[in-house]
Structures are given as structure tokens and as C-alpha cells.
Amino acid sequence: MARRASDRRRNRRDRLAAGIVRLGGAGVVLAVAFLAAFLVREALPLAARPEIHDDRARVAPLGGDGLLFGVDPFVEAGWRLTAEGVLVLRDLRDGATLAEARPFDLAAGERLVAARLAPSGGVVAAATSTGRVALAEFRVVPEYGDDLARTYRFSEAKVRWLRDEADGAPITRLDGDVEDDRLWLAYAVEGEARVHLVRGRLKTNRLTGAERLSVKDLAADLPAPAADLALLDHGGLVVGLSDGAVLGFKPDRRFRTLDAMPTTAASGLEPGSGGVLAVRSLVGRGSVLVVRVGDVLEHHLPRPREDATLELYLAHAWEAPVRGLRDVAVSPRQRVFFALGEDELRIGQSTAGRLYGRSPLAPGWRGVLLAPREDVLAVWQGDGAVRLEPVELHYPGFTWETWFTRIQYEGLPEPAYVWQSTGGTESYEPKVSLVPLVVGTLKGALWALLPSIPIALLGALYCARFLRGRAREAVKSFVELLAGIPSVVLGFLGALYLAPKMNDRYLSVLLLPLVLALAALLLGALWARLPIQWRRRFHGGRAAWLLLPLFFLLADFLLRSGPGLEGWLLGEPLTAWLRDRFEVPFEQRNALVVGLAMGFAVTPLVFTLAEDAFRNVPRDLSEASLALGATEWQTAVRVVVPPALPGVVAASMIGLGRAVGETMIVLMATGNTPITSWNPFRGFRTLSANLAVELPEAEKGAGLYRTLFLSALLLFAMTFVVNLAAEWVRVRGRKKL
């Protein structure tokens, strides 16, 4: 009976232990799965497409007549600008008229004939029937009553006349904007084959606050009358002609001439031939959309050429994006636009060149705009009502194309992989190519593995096969101790010691392995000639220790004489020589520095694993080989290495995984420039360092934030795949043995 009880206890304990072990294993798998699931969950919303919830639209009264309309950020008040120059503000909740303003101070009988709202909102360019043109800046501001109910009024409008000649010129095409103390206006007079660019400069007296406006008007001849035009930033402008030509202009530095830009197109694209219907700037005024007769929409942007002039580049073209394409509306915050047809619209994103789903549009619409917070699309209908349709844009600027393909960004000379997530202005477009980061990650790993894998593997072989007893244990423990150095220390070492020290010694650093290997071979040859009695004193692989002082002396000599050597051989430092002779750019914190610093982290890891792999080769095999008269080296190469190879490959891949995931060293020693270059003399930025740098500052839930999670997922996948492959190689190799 007693025995039974003890058996039961034993069984219980056994089950308990098995349960705990299983729980631990499952816990690890669960943790990894959870991590992956978390990353996926955070990144997945990027895949969502913009949606317009037409079914949840509401309709509000605004009034029928007018040239322009707009809404406040909360879409609770809407304004329209009438031909009489009256700004009418109405409450979109109850239809009440909140305010009326007459900022333009028109003469009797003078009417507004054309007006245009700047893409960022808040600036209206308006032309009168007498030929005068003004820029008006105003905002709709909220006011809170005693009961905290929100109501709205107009802010004080600032109106500046940039063309104040009442010569009766019929101006119907115009665009204007304000850049700090500069006012820009582009216009064309009906029937004239000319385009005008007006620059106004504001000078404010600091004492009196009085403003003085100086205005200068430039004109350029056109081959035909302008059909429409739009301003670019810094006074650039794009004119579309009724004969189909799209021309870019830019004032010279002193604002004396208005110069035409040459035009180019992306490979495979040709500008359409249909007459231009509309030209609209995207926010930031870095590029324009051109609507042509025949339902063609084009995206043009000025880009710098080698001689610092600009060319007008056709980046994208869409045939028949919607039925009866008439115009486009643009987002006030990002490079998102709405192609507007007779009875449908379509959301697009210019940078990625993407068009998304269609949505119905009431025929006879007067205007369409996206509310400042991009959450409501307002359609001003023919009956004077505004239809407010909830919009979810999600992340239209973050697409597969922007992450992984070359993109022609505004202001860049050519399509490129660019990571530049934030900029100084609100209209700045985040550039989120993951390619430089992936390249940087692989480059860092490559340059880290290049020196460390041979050292680690040869060292492991030496330790496992040639060293004996206490010496072997000592070497192994010491190398494993190295693995414990915190990577922040290595990063520090790389950035603040190695980088400046290596600066004028690259030749020596690159020659060092070669010189040391030659020295070892030479010494080995000499060693074989020594009398056996001498050699026997250093049995068990300890002979190699004699090499250490020699290595130290050689390395010291080579590194000390580095600058002199480079001067003597090349006449200048190697880095300067490479730059001068081969135009190889050089940066002090570069892949070689990181490779060396990261080598301290990777080498011990690979060494330890590879040493185990070598040592795990059954002793039977090496004994059989030795007993057959093989030398230690023959035994190592022919008998020990082949079966250990899977383990060695696995060790190297785990080293690769470590190098790919390493953060601190690359963060500190690379300079973190996200460039796509394999040049070892330049810096780079890895996925991991990028996460460390940017995630703390990324707005939660924004596109950049989610893109960072995507890059984390990519990094996770990369290391996971590498480690999985390592494990696969190892297990497969073991089965074969």
C-alpha cells in the first residue's frame, strides 16, 4: 500500500514537471506569436484604402450663388464668397446665417469675376470686373457663448491688392498664395497669350505696425491663351493651354525675367494632347495636377536639374479616372486629391501614383473640397446645399510603392529610395522608403560578418581541435566573456574611438588581416624547421600562443605607421585618395567602423556556437582519422569540418541574425544617414536604429508610426527567417549524420 502511495506521488510529480516544461515551451512560442501579432496589428491599418461614406452623408444649406466656398475645421460652419464680394457664413447645423463680411471694399458696380482658394485654405485670390486682383487672408474662428455653445465668425480679413489697375482687363484665370512676407499671384487676361506673375513684398514697420506692400509684375508670352494656371512654391507656376501644352515658368533670382522650364516625362509616359481644362496645385505647391479634355489627369512636378535649373516632369498620367473628368480637389494636408467627374469622384494619391475607389457625385455640383481635418468631403451642390460626406483617408501616402520602389518626390532630381520621415513645414511629405533601411541593415550585417566569421570559425576550430585541457577552457571562457560586453559600450567604442582613430589608417586596417595571416604562415614554416625537442615544449596547440606577441607587435607597428604609410604610398590619406581618384565618398562613421565594433559582438557568439559544433563531432571519427595516420589538420578538415558544417552554417546565420537585429552599435557608430549605398566608407541606417531613433517621436496611430511598425515587422521577419534557416540547416545536418 505504501508503495502505491509513493508511486502516485511520483506520477504526480512527473506530470507536474512535464506540465511546467510544456508550459515554458508554449510560453516561448506564445510570446513570439504575440509579438508578431502585435506588430501585424499595428501595421495592418496601413493596408486600408480610403473610403467615402456616402451613405452617412448629411446635407446642410449654404446658399446658391457664389464663386467659392469653404468649411471650418469642425465642419459646423460654412462660408461662400459671392460675386458681390460678400463673405457669407452660415451654420451648417441649423442653417442660420452667422456673419457677413465685405473684405474687398469694391467700387460701385465692381463685381468679382473669378476667385481661387489656395490648397492649404485660408488664402483667396479674387479678380474683379474692373481688372483688379486681391489676395484675401481670413479664417473662420470659433466663439464660445455663455452656455459654451460653439458659434463662428470671420477673423479680420487681410486684403492686399496685387493688381490695382482698374483697366477692365478680364481676368478669369488666377492663383495666389502667401509665403511668409511674400505674396504671389499668377494670372492671365482673357484672350491674351500671356501669363503674369506678381510678387508682393510686405514690409512691416515694427514701431507703427504699418504695412507697406511693394508689387512687381512679370509677364511671359505664351503660344496660345492660357486655359488655366497654378502657382508652384517660390513663384514657380504652371500654365495649361487650350491647345494641350503644359508649360512651367520660374522667375529668375532677381525677379527680372520669367523663364520657361524644359519639360520631360517619366519613361513610358507622354503628355496628353487634349486641351487643358484645369491646373491645380497640390498642398505645399510642389506639384500640380492637370485635367485635360478627354478624361486625362496628369501629375506634373518641377525637379532640379544638374545645372540647378528646373524642369517640369510628368510623373504620372491616368486615362479616364472618372466619367467626364472636369476638375480636381486637393487635400489641405497631404498629396491626396479627388478627381471630379460629372457624376462620380475618385480619391487619388499623387506621390505613389495611386487611384482608389469611386464614389457617386451629384451631377451639377459647384465645388468640392476636403475639410481641414480631412474627415469630411464637402460637395457644394447645384441647389445651394452642401453635402457633407464622412471620409476616412487612412494612409494613402503609405503604400507598397512608397516603401519599396523608387519614387519621384517633389523637389528631388530623380526617382529615388528616400527615408526622410519629417520635415520643417506642415505641408512636408514624409518619405518612407524602407529600401535604404533594409540595405543599411544588410550592409551593416555584411561588414560585421566579413571579418568576424572567418576569425570566429578558425578560432573555434583551433580551440576545439588543437587546444587542449585548461588552455582550451580558458580561451573559450574568455571569448564567451567578450560576448557579454554591452553593445552600448561597443557602440561607444566604435563611434568615439575607432572612427576617429581609423580615419587616417584605413590602409593599415585593411592590410592587417593579410599581414597577420602571412606572418602566421611564415612563422609556421619556420616552426616546422625547429628541432623537435623545442617544439615538443609547446605541444597541445600552445605553439600558437607564441604568435600573440608577434601579432601585437605587427599590428601595433602597422597601425602606428598607418598615416605615414598612406602618405608614402599614395601621397595622401587613403580616403582622400579614393575620393580624388575614384570619387568614392567617405564618411568618418562608416560600415567598416561598425563592422569592427559589431565584430566584437558577433565573433564571440559565432565562436561559441561553432566551437560546440566542432566539439560535438563524435570523438570516434577524429580518433579513427588519427589512427589512420591523418595529421591534426587533415583530421580537422576532412573529418571534423564536414559533419560540423551544418552547425557551423547555423552558427554563422545566428551571427547574421544578431548583426541584423543589432541596434545600439549601429545607432551610435553609423551616423544614421539613411542612404542606399553599399560603399563601406559611408554610413548607413539600419531598421533597428531607425526604430530606436524615430519611434519615440512618431505620432501614435499616424502613418509614420505604423510604417515604423511595418519596418519592425520586416526586421522581425528577417531575423526570424535567418534563425529559422539556421535551425533548419542544423536539424537537417544532424539527421544526415
d(CA 391, CA 119): 18
- Taking the complex as a whole, the smallest distance from the CB of residue 459 to another protein amounts, in Å, to 20
Residue 89's nearest CA partner among 172, 157, 146, 145 is 157
- The smaller minimum CB distance to another protein, of residues 174 and 617, is found at 617
Q: In the structure grid, which three cell numbers stand for residue 161, read together?
A: 491688392
Length of the chain: 737
d(CA 304, CA 312): 9
Residue 161's nearest CA partner among 100, 226, 103, 234 is 103
Look up residue 120 and give its DSSP letter.
T
- The smaller minimum CB distance to another protein, of residues 85 and 646, is found at 646
Show the beta-strand stretches assigned E in 145-210: 150-154, 158-163, 171-179, 182-189, 194-204
- Taking the complex as a whole, the smallest distance from the CB of residue 617 to another protein amounts, in Å, to 10
- Taking the complex as a whole, the smallest distance from the CB of residue 652 to another protein amounts, in Å, to 21
- Taking the complex as a whole, the smallest distance from the CB of residue 702 to another protein amounts, in Å, to 56
Burial class (CB in 10 A: 0-12, 13-18, 19+), 205: exposed
- The smaller minimum CB distance to another protein, of residues 350 and 622, is found at 622
- The smaller minimum CB distance to another protein, of residues 96 and 731, is found at 731
- Taking the complex as a whole, the smallest distance from the CB of residue 520 to another protein amounts, in Å, to 22
- Taking the complex as a whole, the smallest distance from the CB of residue 622 to another protein amounts, in Å, to 8
- Taking the complex as a whole, the smallest distance from the CB of residue 628 to another protein amounts, in Å, to 4
- The smaller minimum CB distance to another protein, of residues 422 and 631, is found at 631
- Taking the complex as a whole, the smallest distance from the CB of residue 625 to another protein amounts, in Å, to 7
Contacts of residue 283, Cβ cutoff 8 Å, sequence gap at least 6 = 119, 120, 330, 331, 332, 333, 334, 335, 427
- The smaller minimum CB distance to another protein, of residues 257 and 631, is found at 631
User: How far, rounded to the nearest angstrom, does the alpha carbon of residue 273 sit from its chain's CA centroid?
Assistant: 35
User: How far, rounded to the nearest angstrom, does the alpha carbon of residue 392 sit from its chain's CA centroid?
Assistant: 23
Q: At what angle do helices 641-661 and 591-615 cross, to 10 degrees?
A: 140
- The smaller minimum CB distance to another protein, of residues 113 and 640, is found at 640
- Taking the complex as a whole, the smallest distance from the CB of residue 552 to another protein amounts, in Å, to 28
Kindly write down the DSSP assignment for every residue of 604-664, as one continuous string. Answer: HHHHHHHHHHHHTS-HHHHHHHHHTT--HHHIIIIIIHHHHHHHHHHHHHHHHHHHHH--H
- The smaller minimum CB distance to another protein, of residues 58 and 468, is found at 468
In degrees, rounded to 5, the angle at the alpha carbon of residue 523 between the alpha carbons of residues 518 and 525 is 100
- The smaller minimum CB distance to another protein, of residues 40 and 628, is found at 628
Which residues of this chain interact with another protein, rule CB under 8 A?
468-469, 532-533, 536, 540, 618, 620-631, 634, 638-639, 642-643, 736-737
Alpha-carbon distances of 328 from 295, 337, 638, rounded to whole Å:
12, 7, 73
- Taking the complex as a whole, the smallest distance from the CB of residue 475 to another protein amounts, in Å, to 14
Grid-cell match 494619391, residue found? 349
- The smaller minimum CB distance to another protein, of residues 80 and 465, is found at 465
- The smaller minimum CB distance to another protein, of residues 322 and 639, is found at 639
- The smaller minimum CB distance to another protein, of residues 519 and 649, is found at 649
- Taking the complex as a whole, the smallest distance from the CB of residue 623 to another protein amounts, in Å, to 7
Beta bridge partners of 117: 124
d(CA 292, CA 415): 25
- Taking the complex as a whole, the smallest distance from the CB of residue 634 to another protein amounts, in Å, to 6
- The smaller minimum CB distance to another protein, of residues 302 and 643, is found at 643
| SS3 at position 700 | coil
- Taking the complex as a whole, the smallest distance from the CB of residue 528 to another protein amounts, in Å, to 12
Contact 463, 480 (CB under 8 A): no
Grid-cell match 496589428, residue found? 41
d(CA 310, CA 243): 23
Residue 674's nearest CA partner among 438, 375, 403 is 438
- The smaller minimum CB distance to another protein, of residues 526 and 532, is found at 532
- Taking the complex as a whole, the smallest distance from the CB of residue 727 to another protein amounts, in Å, to 21
Alpha-carbon distances of 615 from 468, 619, 624, 723, rounded to whole Å:
12, 8, 15, 22
Return the HEC string of 323-347: CCCCEEEECCCCCEEEEECCCEEEE
Contact 632, 465 (CB under 8 A): yes
- Taking the complex as a whole, the smallest distance from the CB of residue 517 to another protein amounts, in Å, to 25
- Taking the complex as a whole, the smallest distance from the CB of residue 613 to another protein amounts, in Å, to 14
Consecutive H or E run containing 720: helix 703-736
- Taking the complex as a whole, the smallest distance from the CB of residue 466 to another protein amounts, in Å, to 11
- Taking the complex as a whole, the smallest distance from the CB of residue 615 to another protein amounts, in Å, to 14
Alpha-carbon distances of 482 from 2, 371, 497, 606, 656, rounded to whole Å:
54, 59, 18, 12, 18
Helices vs. strands in the chain: H and E counts, helices first: 18, 34
Beta bridge partners of 318: 297
- The smaller minimum CB distance to another protein, of residues 372 and 643, is found at 643
Contacts of residue 682, Cβ cutoff 8 Å, sequence gap at least 6 = 585, 586, 587, 590, 591, 673, 675
- The smaller minimum CB distance to another protein, of residues 404 and 534, is found at 534
- State the distance between the two ends of the chain, measured CA to CA, in whole angstroms: 48
Q: In the structure grid, which three cell numbers stand for residue 418, read together?
A: 528616400
Grid-cell match 493688381, residue found? 163
